[in-house]
Amino acid sequence: MKKSLMMAVLIVGCAPEPAEPTRLDGGIENADTGHTQTDAGVEVDAGSAPDVGTTPTERTIWAGPRLTFTKANFADPNTPEAQDRITDSVILTRGSRNILYNIAEEAAVNQSASPAGTLWALGTTDTIDSLDFQPLKQAANSRMQDLPNQDMVLHLIEENIYIDLRFLSWTSGGASGGGFSYERTTPNP
């Protein structure tokens, strides 16, 4: 018994010291967990940590003049006049039915995730920290026809841009042509 107790003390006493975190540009890496804590205090898995030398993009809220975009019923979504080019990676349009999609990233609508590269919330950027961002259809509670006159915030994920947007019209029904219109903020002057 004396030997086993002494062995346990030796084993416990020989436990390695926890590794010290390593400071990287963009965060602190914890060698024990493999996670990185960014300067913003967010802990991420090492597989998704920012590359060395990069920092997370800061949030940008567009508060420039409002622009009105309209896609007419039956307009070809592949033509520039039927597309709202917000950035190079987010170009919104709609087919003759269904929800919006991002023609820069996807060839057709994915009901549970479109438009790709975006998240949406009911409300305005005045209350941005309390908003619940989701894919468009979920944010609209699957009732796209109820969106006119509702304030929404569009989040462009890659660029970390937030845009105030208000749907003005939404044509519903399978043979209706897929028209819609909204007004949205533009980049700050």
pLDDT in tens, 100-150: 999 999 999 999 999 999 999 999 999 999 999 999 999 999 999 999 999
What gap in Å lies between CA 81 and CA 43, rounded to an integer? Answer: 42
How far apart, in Å, are the Cα atoms of 186 and each of 84, 114, 140, 176, 189? 12, 21, 22, 29, 8
Find out whether 33 and 39 touch, Cβ atoms under 8 Å.
Answer: no
> What are 19's two structure tokens?
């590794």
17: three-class secondary structure by DSSP: coil
pLDDT at 44 over 90: no
Q: What is the pLDDT of residue 10?
A: 40
Average pLDDT over every residue of 6-15:
42
> In this predicted structure, what is the pLDDT of residue 184?
99
> Which among 97, 117, 121 has a CA at the least distance from the CA of 106?
117
- Model confidence at 156, pLDDT cuts 50, 70, 90, reads very high
What is the SS3 assignment for 80? helix
